[in-house]
Structure 1
Amino acid sequence: MIVNRDYMLHILTRLLETPSPSGYCGRIVSLVEEEAAKLGFVPDRTPKGCVIITVSGKREEAMGISAHVDTLGAMVRSIKPNGTIRFTPVGGYMMSSVENEYCRVHTRDGREYEGTVLTVKPSVHVYGDARELKREEANMEIRIDENVASKDEVLALGISVGDFVSWEPRTRLLANGYVKSRHLDDKAGVAAVFALLRGLRDSGVAPERTLKIVISVYEEVGHGAAYLPPDIRELIAVDMGAMGDDLSCKETDVSICAKDSSGPYDYDMTTRLIRLAQKNNIPHAVDIYPNYGSDASAALRGGSNIRAALIGPGVHASHGMERTHTDAIANTAALLAAYVLE
């Protein structure tokens, strides 16, 4: 199966430009359903809002592949008397990673307002302790780009407590293959899954087993794929591979995670993925991520009686200003293809 990189980057760009903090995924779920239908597959939406795409295989026995379209973000916690917004995080990130970031506030009646994340002491020319101020929720706020100076004026815009806030992704696709953007976790993984779907369609080759692709919407808050269709007995979660101290993964690799915070992944599945990467000369790394959880973790903790493994493109600076390489996404799609077609 050939990975169509142009298509892969096209769908990645569309995903990245669509706001989707956990709990606010209606638009991106519609995009996923639309794209699946274009490829000739019939998507099904669960009551929770996840999408399941079924690909008929040579055998009815089903295996699952999951990836998540939800991202980090925030919600309006309160509106301050001076017209700025206090926010509460959605997902786990360092407050310093969103300081000075542009954002959008999404009201429940469909309006959007631009803003900027700042500390409550945003200028060194005014506040002597601006540099030392601890970057924590209580010391952060959003300055919205409207002529407002009071709580009532903000309320008049239709902004309310509980409205969602999305971060500007700042996506760049470089000529040398690097991709830098917020939310590569896990939209790069979703792009790899769609590259697999496109490759299966174009090749006309059926997978050995029926595939059930689960695109989840609450992974960043811990329960994305907690529900799986009951006929799934084996799941590969596709999520970003972390990089850093004592890890071997690079931005061009597909990461194979042997263990994360939920414990070891299935021995036989992980071994098979390593063997297939070696056999097919797919650049890969095997690592352990002690501060990490996945859709497979959620499924296992939710009571699913499955075997599970975890792979994904190597991503630098996860939950910050992330970067990966086109090769890593394509290598992830290639390893998925090798697994489902063998």
Structure 2
Amino acid sequence: MTVSTDYMVETFCALANIPSPSGNTEKVMAWIETELKRLGIRFFRMNKGAVMATLPGANDEKHRLLTAHVDTLGAMVKEIKGNGRLKLALIGGFEFNAVEGEHCQIETDSGRIITGTILSTKASVHVYGREAGKMERTEQNMEVRLDEKVKSREDVLALGIRVGNFVSFDPRVTVTNSGFIKSRHIDDKASVAILLGVLKHLKETGTTLPYTTHFLISNNEEIGYGGNSGVPEKTVEYLAVDMGAIGDGQTTDEYCVSICAKDSSGPYHYGLRKHLVRLADENGLNYQVDIYPYYGSDASAALRAGYDIVHGLIGPGVDASHSHERTHKEALDNTAKLVLAYLQSEKMQA
């Protein structure tokens, strides 16, 4: 019996369709709490809004912690323009060209949802010609066209829209017959689905892990501090389950579990990395080891916060990260199998 791929895919689709830009994650965290209750997993809500679930292990002197984050890229209303359109301030590390033409929704302070589209200020080639394509995509040159009859700032204010309202992007989740998963926010809702799938498997099989293990579903990773506090004092190993970056010079693809050797914060723990590679080899998994040059994780954030831990990073290979992303069911399956092998291993790195 292995972790259910169908469960992981269904869980990802449910999570992806709940808007949760960093700073506005209450709805998705409530969904996670409901699912953990259904699975019979003990958990608690942390002050920053994250959820920590715990499985008691045979050894309670040393603990492990795994984390995945459910917050996503997004935006906030920065300015209401005189013509009734909105300027945005981005939340998370991405470029405006990654969301140009995307449908979006604005959540007002009262909870009302108003939809729109993100466009350049010179979107029409029939009016602006080549300038429409050549214009740099910056905060000054991008705007939201609201799906409401608005022609002025006052019209927008009458809708309840204010500076600071959160803006979410339509994920456009698609699962193809060939097994591909296309969506925004695969980073990192796919890995949250993987951890929930592993928890479901462990609960249903009655498996007792060799070490007490915590599962942290963080909600501020995209802005740098999701998993840098509240780490239980007995924690020795800290494994972030995020995503493997695909691109020129990378070995990771959309079918494997990617094991990170180094990111922008520096090398991950060498002993833990080699242990993960051994487990992948022993279990016949499709994996690759890579360096992610423009990347940081909750594990590296915990180290910067001063925690005395052994840290690692793995995840399914994801194409076009922080844009319209894609992965494959096989990547989820390989990642879940490596997570399960790691959790059941008795070798501790410290």
TM-score bracket, normalised by the shorter chain, equals over 0.9
Residue 302 of structure 1: how far off its partner (Å): 1.1
Equivalence for 1:155: 157
Equivalence for 1:40: 40
Task: Map 1:128-277; keep pairs closer than 5 Å.
Answer: 128=129, 129-227=131-229, 228-277=231-280
TM-score, normalised with respect to structure 1: 0.99
Task: Map 1:71-150; keep pairs closer than 5 Å.
Answer: 71-128=72-129, 129-150=131-152
Return the alpha-carbon distance in structure 1 between the equivalents of residues 154 and 3 of structure 2. Answer: 53
**Aligned residue-pair number:** 342
Return the alpha-carbon distance in structure 1 between the equivalents of residues 329 and 176 of structure 2. Answer: 10
Q: Does the residue aligned with 1:137 lie in a helix, a strand or coil?
A: coil
Return the alpha-carbon distance in structure 1 between the equivalents of residues 126 and 47 of structure 2. Answer: 52
Return the alpha-carbon distance in structure 2 between the equivalents of residues 77 and 43 of structure 1. Answer: 36
TM-score, normalised with respect to structure 2: 0.96
Residue 9 of structure 1: how far off its partner (Å): 1.2
Is 1:324 paired with 2:324? Answer: no
Identity of matched residues, %: 48
Return the alpha-carbon distance in structure 2 between the equivalents of residues 236 and 272 of structure 1. Answer: 12
Equivalence for 1:12: 12
Return the alpha-carbon distance in structure 1 between the equivalents of residues 109 and 241 of structure 2. Answer: 31
Return the alpha-carbon distance in structure 1 between the equivalents of residues 8 and 58 of structure 2. Answer: 26
1:202-227 alpha-carbon deviations (Å, 9 max, x no partner): 11111111111011111001111011
Is 1:290 paired with 2:305? Answer: no
Q: Does the residue aligned with 1:138 lie in a helix, a strand or coil?
A: coil
Return the alpha-carbon distance in structure 2 between the equivalents of residues 231 and 77 of structure 1. Answer: 43
Q: Does the residue aligned with 2:134 lie in a helix, a strand or coil?
A: coil
Which 4+ residue blocks in structure 1 deviate beyond 6 angstroms? none
Structure 2 unaligned regions, length at least 5: 346-350
1:236-263 alpha-carbon deviations (Å, 9 max, x no partner): 0000100111111110100000100111
Return the alpha-carbon distance in structure 1 between the equivalents of residues 108 and 56 of structure 2. Answer: 40
Return the alpha-carbon distance in structure 1 between the equivalents of residues 55 and 85 of structure 2. Answer: 48
Give the letter aligned to residue 318 of structure 2: V
Q: Does the residue aligned with 2:216 lie in a helix, a strand or coil?
A: strand
Give the letter aligned to residue 6 of structure 1: D
1:127-168 alpha-carbon deviations (Å, 9 max, x no partner): 131111101111000011001111111011111000000000
Q: Does the residue aligned with 2:7 lie in a helix, a strand or coil?
A: helix
Residue 230 of structure 1: how far off its partner (Å): 2.3
Return the alpha-carbon distance in structure 1 between the equivalents of residues 307 and 34 of structure 2. Answer: 28
Return the alpha-carbon distance in structure 1 between the equivalents of residues 300 and 242 of structure 2. Answer: 12
Q: Does the residue aligned with 1:208 lie in a helix, a strand or coil?
A: strand
